Amino acid sequence: MMRALVLGSLLSALAACGDDVGPAPSDAEVDAAVTADAERPLPSLEEGELLPGGATTLAEAGASAFLQPAANLSLSRRSQFEAGLQFFRLQWVPAPGRADLDGLGPTYNADSCIACHIRNGRSLPAGNAEDGVLLRLGPATGGPDAYYGEQLQPRAVPGVPAEARVERHRIDAGSVTLGDGTEVALTRVEHELIDLGGPPLAATTLISPRVAQQLVGMGLLEAISDVALLAGEDPDDVDGDGISGRAAHLESGDLGRFGWKAAEPTVVGQTAAAFHQDLGLTSELRPEPNCPRGQTACVAAPSGGEPELVPARLAATAAYVRLLGVPPRRGGDDAETLRGKALFAEVGCAACHTPAFETGAALEPELTEQRIWPYTDLLLHDMGDDLADGRPEGDATGVEWRTAPLWGLGLVDEVNGGFRLLHDGRARSLAEAILWHGGEAASARAAYRALSAEERAALERFVFSL
């Protein structure tokens, strides 16, 4: 079963010695290596591995797996979770209106949190980019578009023009031939702006689409110490493995953890940014109306208060997000999954998708000192030109992305009613997502391409068990 991987490993080892690698391994040498590998025992489960969220891990998984409170949340604390849930579901309206739910816009992407985070999961890009796909704007030198700001707003309250209508097009991007001859078709996405509410985009403005991410485990990721995150950095690739991840060092002095480019350091910061950029609601953390200079109708529109999202509501919504439980592993202890676990490490996926961390002190006591298995290092990595958006954000460059956590990935289809991966939702399968990886992940992609169909199935089984 391991013949393709072993052959690739032997060739890689020879290539590392210099340009003159000599003859390729003989069939006998490869067979011997395969035999030795077959006799190697499968990796065993590590302590707590089937409980990826530690004591927060839920007992059951299914379509509602991302909606449940942490398993160790006491009844006396459930009221805080439920209060945040109500604000997360609240459908906001334009001002002036009911004082407890007005302030939407004036321009916006959605009127509630759940409009993009389907069942607290990912948005599902369909034919229209207004459905849970955000378009970040700005030049390669950084900063926002001069008229439309840092994020396009395709909707608006009465009396205010929407910034544009968006059409999303899926484009054939050719195919990749795997080592066993299997062909994998790739597609990418393009976004066309129609009926602009103002001048054309600046010639230097780039469009970066972003799919809304699933919410489970964010409080646990917040509780990982800065020391633990920095321990994974290797910005100069001192160890020579081709991986040079680095933490996102923000202007505030904090380390970025959340968002596709790790531009927010905390759950409450990420929550306030989403309310502001996606719904147009001001808060104590984002007090200025989301009206770029020059949009006079937006600036003149009525306000829902100062701020529109009062501190107690922002805090309750952030607490709700922190206290979401993590689904359990499914079939994590069967032989095929364990074989996939070994391949995940051997191919090189675990170099960025770090399996486990210990949490430290947390804002919610249920999240303190938990052994968790998120499969991310939360660091920024150069992912190559094929995934680059060219647009810097926070501390990330135009080719860097934060390593996405993998826990819950096997439930995405059931939760969302569809399956799309990567920042713009271009990948329709795990294979496609891996084959788009470049930059620091190029060697892992090459190793994946060399796997047999049986090995790829084992690797996928492992990833979908997370």
Q: What is the pLDDT of residues 408-438, one digit of tens each?
A: 999 999 998 888 999 999 999 999 999 999 9
Q: Which pLDDT belongs to residue 186? A: 98
Whose tokens are 């707590």? That residue is: 48
Q: Is residue 28 part of a domain?
A: no
Q: Is the pLDDT confidence value at 15 over 80?
A: no
pTM equals: 0.90
Asked whether residue 153 is domain-assigned, the answer is: yes
pLDDT at 13: 37
The residue segments making up the domain with residue 441 are 3-12+45-463
Strand partners, 209: 135
Q: Alpha-carbon distance 408 to 395, whole Å?
A: 27
CA dihedral 157, 208, 390, 258 (to 10 degrees): 90
Predicted confidence (pLDDT) per residue in 130-174, tens digit = 467 899 999 999 999 999 999 999 999 999 999 999 999 999 999
Q: How confident is the model at residue 125 (pLDDT cuts 50, 70, 90)?
A: low
Q: Is 225 part of any domain? A: yes
Residue 27 lies in a domain: no
Q: Nearest Cα to 282, choosing from 115, 95, 121, 457?
A: 95
Query: What percentage of the chain carries pLDDT values higher than 90?
Result: 86
Q: Which residue has the tokens 């395969």?
A: 34
Assigned domain for 32 exists: no
Q: How many domains does the chain have?
A: 1
Contact yes or no for 391/252 (Cβ under 8 A): no
Specify if 17 maps to a domain: no
In the chain, DSSP finds a helix count (H) and a strand count (E) of: 13, 12
* β-bridge pairing 400-402 and 380-382: antiparallel
How confident is the model over 53-105, as pLDDT tens digits? 999 999 989 999 999 999 999 999 999 999 999 999 999 999 999 988 999 99
Q: Are 188 and 173 spatial neighbours (Cβ–Cβ below 8 Å)?
A: yes
Question: Where does the pLDDT of residue 40 fall: very low under 50, low under 70, confident under 90, or very high at 90 and above?
Answer: low
| Helix or strand holding residue 387 (H, E) | none
Residue 26 lies in a domain: no
pLDDT of residue 44: 85
Find the angle CA(216)-CA(459)-CA(355) to the nearest 5 degrees. 45
Residue 22 lies in a domain: no
